[in-house]
C-alpha cells in the first residue's frame, strides 16, 4: 500500500520515559495510520521548557524504535516552530480574534464558580473590558514584571468533530489561551501549537487518549478560524492502575526500560500491548496490521498489572 500525503501522528511531551499507557496509544496511532495508508509522523511537544528535556525526548524516540514503531520523515520539535506560532497569532490578531487576559489562576478558579459557567470553561472576565480598564490592568502586571495572556475571541459556542470510535461529537468552544502570560518570555499555549503543527504536518487523523475527547471541538474550531482542515479523531481508552486511576510511577514497573530491567524484552512488551487490544501476539507492528480493525478496539480502559519477573509467580 502506497502512503498518502495525509498522516497520523504520535506527539509525546518529553517530561520522562513513556509508560505502557503512552506506548499503547502510540501503537494504536501507528496502526490507525498505517492501516489507512497514511504516513505516521512523530512530533516532540516540548514547548513547556520547564518540564521538557532533550534527554527525555531521545529516550522516548529510542523506546518507540525498540517496539518497531518507525515514523516517516524527521522528528518535528515544537521548539523549532515558534515563528509559525507567531504567524498564526498574527492571523488571529488581524481578524480581531484575540484579546488580552489579565486573570491569575486564582481569579479563574474563583470566577469559574459563578453560576452559568460550565465546568472548566473560562467565564469571559476580560473579554469585554473597556480600554481604560485594560490599560490599568496591563500597568499592574507590568509593575510585577509580567505580561498578559492572549485568548481566542471565539465566535461560536459549540463545535462538532467526527470521531472514529465516538461518532459525531459536539462540545463547547471556550476562549482558549493561545499565548500564556507570565514573566515576559513568550510562552506558547498547547491549543495553538497542536493545531498549527497538525496542519503543517498534513495530519488529518488524530489518535490520542479519550481523556482529551472534549478538548477536540475547541481545537477543531481554532483550526477552522486559522483556515486549516479539520482532522478526524480517534480517542482511545486509557491504561489505568488497579485502583482505576491514571497510570503513574507509583504503580511499579510501567516503562519499557523498567520492564526490561525485570527481564521483559521489547518484543514481549509488544505482545502484551497487542493482547490488550484483542490482537494476536506478533513480533512486529507490521505483523499486527492484517489483524487490526478499529471497530473491534476494546472500549473499556485496560487495567495494568505489572507482570511478575521471570522465575517468580503471582502471589
- Show me where the domains of the chain are located: 7-80+237-303, 95-188
Task: State the pLDDT at residue 51.
Answer: 74
103 is in an annotated binding site: yes
Task: State the pLDDT at residue 218.
Answer: 96
Answer positive or negative: Cα dihedral of 236, 122, 200, 14: negative
Task: State the pLDDT at residue 108.
Answer: 76
61 is in an annotated binding site: no
11 is in an annotated binding site: yes
pLDDT at position 296 over 50: yes
233 is in an annotated binding site: no
208 is in an annotated binding site: yes
134 is in an annotated binding site: no
Choosing among 3.40.50.300, 3.40.50.2300, 3.40.50.620, 3.20.20.80, the CATH entry for 7-80+237-303 is: 3.40.50.620
126 is in an annotated binding site: yes
314 is in an annotated binding site: no
pLDDT at position 312 over 70: no
pLDDT at position 183 over 80: no
Task: State the pLDDT at residue 111.
Answer: 67
DSSP string, 35-75: HTT-EEEEEE----TTT--HHHHHHHHHHHHHTT---SSPP
Decide if 7-80+237-303 and 95-188 have a common fold.
no
Stretch 290-303: mean pLDDT: 96
Provide the 3-class DSSP secondary structure of residue 249. helix
282 is in an annotated binding site: no
180 is in an annotated binding site: no
% of the chain beyond a pLDDT of 70: 92
Task: State the pLDDT at residue 71.
Answer: 97
| CA dist 161 → 198, 215, 295 (Å) | 15, 10, 18
pTM over 0.85: yes
45 is in an annotated binding site: yes
Q: How confident is the model at residue 282 (pLDDT cuts 50, 70, 90)?
A: very high
Distance CA 253, CA 223 (A): 39
Choosing among 3.90.1660.10, 3.40.190.10, 3.90.1150.10, 3.90.800.10, the CATH entry for 95-188 is: 3.90.800.10
DSSP 228: P
Amino acid at each position: 500500500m502506497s502512503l498518502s500525503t495525509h498522516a497520523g501522528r504520535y506527539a509525546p511531551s518529553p517530561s520522562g520515559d513513556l509508560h505502557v499507557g503512552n506506548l499503547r496509544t502510540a501503537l494504536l496511532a501507528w496502526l490507525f495510520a498505517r492501516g489507512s495508508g497514511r504516513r505516521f509522523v512523530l512530533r516532540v511537544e516540548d514547548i513547556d521548557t520547564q518540564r521538557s528535556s532533550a534527554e527525555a525526548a531521545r529516550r522516548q524516540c529510542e523506546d518507540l524504535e525498540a517496539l518497531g514503531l518507525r515514523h516517516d520523515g524527521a522528528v518535528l520539535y515544537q521548539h523549532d516552530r515558534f515563528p509559525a506560532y507567531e504567524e498564526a497569532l498574527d492571523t488571529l490578531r488581524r481578524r480581531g480574534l484575540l484579546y488580552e487576559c489579565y486573570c491569575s489562576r486564582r481569579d479563574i478558579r474563583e470566577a469559574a464558580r459563578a453560576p452559568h459557567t460550565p465546568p472548566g470553561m473560562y467565564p469571559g472576565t476580560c473579554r469585554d473590558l473597556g480600554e481604560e480598564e485594560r490599560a490599568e490592568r496591563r500597568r499592574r502586571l507590568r509593575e510585577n514584571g509580567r505580561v498578559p495572556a492572549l485568548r481566542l475571541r471565539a465566535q461560536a459556542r459549540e463545535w462538532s468533530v467526527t470521531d472514529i470510535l465516538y461518532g459525531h461529537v459536539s462540545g463547547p468552544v471556550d476562549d482558549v489561551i493561545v499565548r500564556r502570560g507570565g514573566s515576559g518570555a513568550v510562552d506558547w499555549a498547547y491549543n495553538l501549537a497542536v493545531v498549527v503543527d497538525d496542519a503543517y504536518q498534513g495530519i488529518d487523523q488524530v489518535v490520542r487518549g479519550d481523556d482529551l475527547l472534549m478538548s477536540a471541538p475547541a481545537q477543531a474550531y481554532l483550526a477552522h478560524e486559522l483556515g486549516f482542515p479539520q482532522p478526524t479523531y480517534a480517542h482511545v481508552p486509557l491504561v489505568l492502575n488497579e485502583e482505576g486511576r491514571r497510570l503513574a510511577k507509583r504503580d511499579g514497573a510501567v516503562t519499557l526500560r523498567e520492564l526490561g530491567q525485570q527481564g521483559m524484552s521489547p518484543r514481549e512488551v509488544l505482545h502484551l500491548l497487542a493482547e490488550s487490544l484483542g490482537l494476536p501476539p506478533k513480533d512486529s507492528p507490521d505483523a499486527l496490521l492484517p489483524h487490526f480493525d478499529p471497530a473491534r478496539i476494546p472500549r473499556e480502559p485496560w487495567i495494568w498489572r505489572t507482570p511478575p519477573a521471570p522465575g517468580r509467580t503471582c502471589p
